[in-house]
Structure 1
């Protein structure tokens, strides 16, 4: 299997991508809040099922 990647060196494209990533990062939910809201309840329900 051959692997590879494309290399882009267009400064305008790179800056646009960085701006997009910055925007996504700013909109992201804090990990602890996500865990408490999503992962925590799933883990508690699975632990409760396993102990019965």
Structure 2
């Protein structure tokens, strides 16, 4: 299942509701099946960031 992440955005996915448990951060398109988060994702947060600045 490909997940699209627009340029300049970051998506953080969590295995538990309310942003809890293990988390993974994606800054580009990704395949959730390959990451092991395809059936465990319970919450996510999308935010913009300036990719030119060091995070």
> Taking structure 1 as the reference length, what is the TM-score of the superposition?
0.17
- Report which structure shows greater RCO (CA 8 Å, sep ≥6): 2
Higher helix proportion (structure 1 or 2)? 1
Higher strand proportion (structure 1 or 2)? 2
User: Whose radius of gyration is greater, 1 or 2?
Assistant: 1
> Taking structure 2 as the reference length, what is the TM-score of the superposition?
0.16
